[in-house]
Structure 1
Amino acid sequence: MPKQAAVKQLDDLLTVTKAARELHLSVWGLRRAIRERRIGSYKVLGRVLVSKQEINRIITEGERPRIAV
C-alpha cells in the first residue's frame, strides 16, 4: 500500500477522546460501547481509533442509536 493511501486512511480515524467529544458522550461510555462491540473500532499502534464513517452512522441513526449509553 502506498504511503499516501495509508495516511489518507489514518486521517479518517479519530481517537476515542475526539470521537466522544463529537458524539457528546463520555470517554468511558464510548469505550464501554466499543468493548461491547456496539461501535466498530480499529487498533493502530496500541491506540483505539474510531472511523469518521462510524461516527456519521451513529449520528444519522437519530433518536434510536444502537449505542444506548
Structure 2
Amino acid sequence: SLKDKKEKQVEVDKKMVATKDEEEALNNQIKKLHDDDYIAKLARSEYYLSKDGEIIFNIPEENSKQKE
C-alpha cells in the first residue's frame, strides 16, 4: 500500500543520511591520515611509540567510583 511505501521510503532516507554521515567521517579520517603530525600523535597514543630519548609512563585511569 501507499502507506507502507512511504514508511519504507522514510526508513531508506534515514539509512542514507546515516551512511552519508559515516562517509564524511571516513573521508575526514583519510585526510588526517595524510598528515604526518596526526600519524605521529596516533602512533604515540594508540601504540605507545616514542621519540628517541623519550620514556613512556603508563598511568592507569582512575575509577569513576573511588574505593573508601
Normalised TM-score (structure 2): 0.29
Higher strand share: 1
Over alpha carbons, which structure has the higher Rg?
A: 2
Higher helix share: 2
Normalised TM-score (structure 1): 0.29
